[in-house]
């Protein structure tokens, strides 16, 4: 059977191509003839461009309460008053939310304008506004015969400090592009995005973004002793791929390694998942690898001075006569033996190989990202990712990057008292702990393979998918983690430990 491919006549997953037709302008006065979004704090006078004062807004029933809006005629089009609540937009996250809500309400309009609110540093505000608008207008309709979404043509940012806003708008477009690509990859059905095709895309995109790209197939992985990914791939007709990306700035201020889980489709293997709605979303089980690829493609243009190496561990996890079986013992890179007690705990097996390889290069720190455990989703829900690690300073850097990008993480304890749950009678480890604390025991498993180097693990099982739309987060795969990793690399400082 000839497989479809992700790049066709009507679909290019490169967000720079998606946003190449989007022009971002910065002006001190709003243009006429296009919809305008104006944040308004409760009880405050709005920007003059709205055309109404506070008394007129109040008479129209608009209170400025967060989440409310009022549409008024303006220059042959409309202006939208956006409720910013008491005190107005307090930070970039609030600006992003307001801009996203406005863009979603203007979904049929190719050109939009947005007034930056007072009280938020203009560079950060402009970046957040552009991110909110671009990401709110994102739709994955590559396989629809008649796409319904209307492409975004231009964004005008209205701000008195044009220089600062211009710098922020440029940054926002880069960061939005990273999330858009991560969404594209995760939303693409597995028949259109195999491990092989993922590697081809990395080669195509990486070369234009200043990355060195190496691809390792089955034979090379066997030679490297990567028994984790080989075992997980055993049931699939599609070959595995490990993709190694390298970004080397002229003068490196630190060395960071990223590891991304790239299970292109996760059936659970022999431990087959139930045939429910969750099973149908398992095309997104490569969201970690997608986030790493998308973040690294933006490093050069963002002026990153951290040297970054990324490992994308890509394979299906499928049942067949050659699939890994419960009770099998496989050997990870470096010689650690692992008893497989559940083939649906496969992500940690493919990541273990990469963590060993990353640690062998002795970077300043290692950060992995994965849709790893339902336990993390049950603990933190669908809005907050989990983070664990062996270095408090590194975990704090991850937390700060999540706060800046509004991709929040919450630290769970890497509690060593649960480590005995991973002991095996026949091997060095088993790949699953007990019924409880599953997110923690999964992280404890990964910690075995980092050779004591500073390391943090981000579990995005809950945040990778959204069933409903809200502001700049449309339903579907979210691309969570791409902007976080990009911000982390830009701000990275080697942990003192």
Catalytic residue among 74, 96, 137, 348: 348
Write the DSSP symbol of residue 8.
B
What's the confidence (pLDDT) of residue 150?
Answer: 80
What's the confidence (pLDDT) of residue 294?
Answer: 97
Domain 189-491's class?
alpha beta
Cβ 197 vs Cβ 36: under 8 Å:
no
Active site residue 325: no
Domain 15-180's class?
alpha beta
Cβ 478 vs Cβ 466: under 8 Å:
yes
Distance from CA of residue 314 to its chain's centroid?
17
Q: What residues have CB less than 8 Å from 283, skipping those under 6 apart?
A: 186, 187, 188, 189, 190, 193, 264, 265
What's the confidence (pLDDT) of residue 497?
Answer: 65
Q: Give tens-digit pLDDT for 380-420.
A: 999 999 999 999 999 999 999 999 999 999 999 999 999 99
SS3 at position 157 = strand
Write the DSSP symbol of residue 19.
H
Active site residue 348: yes
Distance from CA of residue 65 to its chain's centroid?
30
Segments of the chain assigned to CATH 3.40.220.10: 15-180
What separation in angstroms does the CA of 139 have from each of 13, 284, 383?
Answer: 12, 16, 20
Where would I find the H helices in 188-282? 195-208, 218-224, 227-233, 277-280
Cβ neighbours, 10 Å, residue 191: 15
Quote the CA–CA distance of 38 and 21 in Å, as a whole number: 24
Run means of pLDDT, 10 residues per run, the chain, 497 residues: 33 45 88 95 91 93 93 92 92 97 93 95 97 94 80 94 95 95 95 95 95 98 98 98 98 98 97 86 96 98 98 98 97 98 98 98 98 97 97 98 98 98 98 97 98 98 94 95 98 90
pTM more than 0.85: yes
Catalytic residue among 273, 300, 325, 400: 273
Segments of the chain assigned to CATH 3.40.630.10: 189-491
Q: Which residues of 155-187 are buried (b: 16+ CB within 10 A; e: fewer)?
A: bbbbbebbebbbbbbbbbbbbbbbbbbbbbbbb
Cβ 412 vs Cβ 388: under 8 Å:
yes
């Amino acid at each position: 059977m000839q497989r479809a491919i992700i790049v066709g006549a009507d679909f290019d997953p490169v967000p720079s191509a998606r946003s190449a037709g989007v022009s971002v302008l910065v002006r001190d006065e709003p243009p006429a003839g296009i919809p305008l979004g104006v944040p308004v704090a409760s009880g405050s006078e709005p920007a003059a461009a709205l055309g109404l004062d506070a008394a007129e807004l109040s008479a129209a029933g608009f209170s400025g309460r967060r989440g409310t809006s009022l549409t008024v005629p303006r220059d042959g089009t409309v202006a939208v008053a956006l409720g910013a609540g008491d005190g107005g937009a307090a930070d970039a996250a609030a600006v992003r939310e307001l801009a996203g809500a406005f863009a979603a309400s203007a979904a049929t309009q190719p050109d939009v304008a947005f007034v930056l609110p007072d009280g938020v540093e203009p560079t950060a505000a402009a970046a957040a506004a552009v991110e909110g608008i671009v990401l709110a207008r994102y739709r994955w309709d590559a396989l629809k015969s008649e796409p319904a979404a209307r492409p975004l043509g231009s964004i005008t940012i209205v701000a008195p400090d044009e220089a600062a806003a211009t710098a922020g708008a440029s940054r926002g477009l880069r960061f939005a592009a990273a999330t858009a690509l991560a969404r594209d990859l995760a939303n693409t059905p597995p028949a259109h995005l195999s491990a092989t095709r993922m590697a081809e895309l990395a080669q195509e995109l990486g070369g234009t973004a200043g990355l060195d790209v190496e691809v390792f197939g089955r034979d090379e992985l066997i030679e490297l002793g990567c028994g984790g990914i080989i075992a997980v791939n055993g049931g699939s007709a599609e070959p595995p791929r490990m993709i190694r990306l390298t970004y080397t700035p002229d003068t490196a201020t630190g060395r960071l390694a990223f590891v991304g889980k790239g299970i292109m489709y996760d059936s659970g293997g022999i431990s087959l998942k139930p045939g429910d709605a969750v099973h149908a979303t398992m095309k997104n089980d490569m969201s970690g690898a997608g986030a790493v690829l998308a973040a690294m493609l933006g490093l050069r243009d963002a002026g990153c001075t951290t040297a970054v190496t990324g490992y994308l561990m890509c394979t299906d996890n499928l049942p067949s006569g050659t699939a890994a079986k419960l009770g099998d013992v496989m050997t990870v890179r470096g010689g650690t033996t692992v008893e497989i007690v559940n083939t649906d705990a496969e992500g940690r097996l493919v990541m273990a190989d990469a963590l060993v390889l990353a640690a062998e290069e002795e970077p300043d720190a290692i950060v992995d990202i994965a849709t790893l455990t339902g336990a993390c989703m049950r603990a933190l829900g669908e809005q907050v990712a989990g983070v664990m690690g062996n270095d408090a300073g590194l975990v704090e850097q991850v937390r700060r990057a999540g706060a800046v990008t509004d991709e929040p993480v919450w630290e769970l304890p890497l509690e060593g008292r649960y480590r005995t749950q991973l002991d095996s009678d026949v091997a060095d480890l088993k790949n699953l702990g007990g019924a409880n604390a599953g997110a923690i025991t999964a992280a404890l498993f990964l910690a075995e393979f980092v050779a004591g180097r500073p390391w943090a693990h981000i579990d995005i099982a809950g945040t990778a998918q959204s069933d409903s739309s809200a502001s700049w987060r449309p339903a579907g795969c979210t691309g969570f983690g791409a902007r976080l990793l990009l911000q982390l690399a830009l701000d990275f400082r080697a942990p003192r430990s």
